[in-house]
C-alpha cells in the first residue's frame, strides 16, 4: 500500500535523525519530498523496469533490472543500466519469456548490489514505471528482505496516467489497450521488444515524455503524474 505524503515525510525525518546503516540507502531514504507543484520537466525522474520469474513477490524472484534517467524532460542514455541478477534461484520456464538463461545470470550481480545501484540512481529522482504495483511489490519485498528497509518512493505509473487520459476522452478500453506497446502506439512511438528490462524502461520513459507533452498547457505538474500524493 502506498504511503501518503505525510507518512513518507515522517519516515524521511526519522531516517534523517537515525541514519540507516548503509550510506547509499540512507541518502535515498533521507532525500526530501519533491515540490509537487513543479512542472514535470523541472524535476528528475527514473524510468524503471524489472523482469521476474512470476507475478507474486512471495513466490517469484527478480531476474533483471533496467533503468534510465529522464532528467528535466530529457532521456539521458548515459544513465541507462541493465543488470542481470546472479542468484541461487533458477529462471526455469520464465526463460522462454525473458530470454534470460541461468547461465546468463551466473555472470550477473548479486541482488543486494543491484538494489544499492538502483537506490543510488533513484536518489533525487522520482520513479516512473508501467503497471507500477507489480514492480513496486517486488522492490518492497527485496529491500525489506535484504536490508530491513521499507521502500516507499512516490511513483508515476504510465499505465494509470494513460488509463485516466482515455477515461477522460470516454474511449472504450479493451483488455490489451493499456499494454506498454499499445500505449506507445497511440503517441506514434515504435513498437519495442517486450520482456527486456532496459528496453522496457526506455519505452516507459519515452511514453511518459509523450504523455506529458500531450497534456496541454505548460504540461503536467508533479502532482498530476504521481499515482498517490
For the residues of 48-97, what is the DSSP string, one character each? EEEEESSS-TTT--EEEEEEEEEETTEEEEEEEEEEEBP-SS--GGGHHH
Local structure of 226: helix, strand or coil: strand
The pLDDT tens digits for 124-173 are 999 999 999 999 999 999 999 999 988 878 899 999 999 999 988 876 67
Q: How far is CA 176 from CA 37, 159, 180, in A?
A: 33, 11, 9
Q: Which helix (DSSP H) or strand (DSSP E) does residue 11 occupy?
A: helix 5-17
Q: How far is CA 36 from CA 29, 42, 81, 138, 222, in A?
A: 18, 10, 27, 26, 5
Question: For residue 219, is pLDDT > 50?
Answer: yes
Q: Cell triple for residue 3? A: 504511503
pLDDT attached to residue 174: 73
Nearest CA to 183 among 199, 202, 206, 201?
Answer: 206
Query: What is the rounded distance in angstroms from the CA atom of residue 26 to the CA atom of residue 45?
Result: 19
pLDDT attached to residue 48: 99
Domain 5-225 has CATH 3.30.420.10: yes
Give all strands (DSSP E) within the chain, no chain letters: 44-52, 62-71, 74-84, 126-129, 156-157
pLDDT attached to residue 29: 87
Q: What is the DSSP letter of 47?
A: E
Amino acid at each position: 500500500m502506498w504511503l501518503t505524503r505525510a507518512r513518507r515525510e515522517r519516515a524521511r525525518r526519522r531516517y534523517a535523525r537515525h541514519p540507516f546503516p548503509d550510506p547509499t540507502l540512507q541518502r535515498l531514504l533521507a532525500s526530501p519530498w519533491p515540490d509537487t507543484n513543479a512542472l514535470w520537466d523541472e524535476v528528475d525522474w527514473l524510468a524503471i523496469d524489472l523482469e521476474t520469474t512470476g507475478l507474486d513477490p512471495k513466490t517469484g524472484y527478480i531476474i533483471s533490472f533496467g533503468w534510465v534517467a529522464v532528467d528535466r524532460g530529457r532521456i539521458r542514455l548515459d544513465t541507462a543500466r541493465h543488470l542481470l541478477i546472479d542468484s541461487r534461484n533458477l529462471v526455469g520456464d520464465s526463460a522462454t519469456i525473458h530470454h534470460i538463461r541461468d547461465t546468463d545470470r551466473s555472470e550477473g550481480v548479486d541482488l543486494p548490489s543491484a538494489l544499492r545501484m538502483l537506490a543510488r540512481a533513484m536518489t533525487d529522482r522520482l520513479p516512473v514505471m508501467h503497471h507500477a504495483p507489480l514492480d513496486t511489490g517486488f522492490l518492497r519485498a527485496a529491500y525489506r528482505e535484504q536490508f530491513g528497509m521499507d521502500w516507499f518512493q512516490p511513483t508515476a505509473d504510465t499505465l494509470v496516467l494513460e488509463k485516466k487520459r482515455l477515461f477522460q476522452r470516454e474511449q472504450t478500453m479493451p483488455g490489451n489497450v493499456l499494454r506498454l506497446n499499445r500505449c506507445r502506439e497511440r503517441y506514434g512511438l515504435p513498437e519495442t521488444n517486450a520482456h527486456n528490462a532496459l528496453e522496457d524502461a526506455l519505452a516507459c520513459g519515452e511514453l511518459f515524455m509523450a504523455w506529458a507533452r500531450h497534456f496541454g498547457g505548460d504540461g503536467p505538474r508533479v502532482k498530476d503524474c504521481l499515482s498517490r500524493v
